[in-house]
Amino acid sequence: MDKKLLDPAVLGSYATKPEDLKIFATIFIRQTAEDIENLSKAGAQGSADEWVDICHKIKGAAAMAGATVLQEMIIQAQSMGESHADEKDEICQNIRRAFADICRVIEEL
């Protein structure tokens, strides 16, 4: 497993039993998918404050899940609050791809 995609040690510190891990992973996937969609909408609508707030939320979830790659991408995105919508769309596409990879890793747990 690529620890930059998902570090099981970090994830395991919050969910020590397999059933807890599944619950945590399900919540992480559902909420983060929704947050990424909202981030994309905020980027398209030009709302810098909302963009930064959503990035902050995703960054925290990624850190708790041990999703280092996603966390790093979100840190970059968070600094783009005033960037043009096209630039935000591009990073959102990259974030979606990374998140899809993370979801595949979670499914293999």
What is the per-residue pLDDT for 4?
78
Mean pLDDT value of segment 102-108: 92
Which residue shows structure tokens 């925290």? 60
- Condensed to tens digits (0 to 9), the pLDDT of residues 76-86 reads 999 999 999 99
What is the per-residue pLDDT for 1? Answer: 59
The answer to whether residue 2 scores a pLDDT higher than 80 is no
Q: Which of 2-6, 76-80, 94-98 has the lowest mean pLDDT?
A: 2-6
pLDDT tens-digit profile of 32-85? 999 999 999 999 998 899 999 999 999 999 999 999 999 999 999 999 999 999
For residue 15, the one-letter residue type is A
| DSSP track, the chain | --TTT--HHHHHHH--SHHHHHHHHHHHHHHHHHHHHHHHHHHHHT-HHHHHHHHHHHHHHHHHHT-HHHHHHHHHHHTTTTS-HHHHHHHHHHHHHHHHHHHHHHHH-
Domains of the chain: 8-108 (1.20.120)
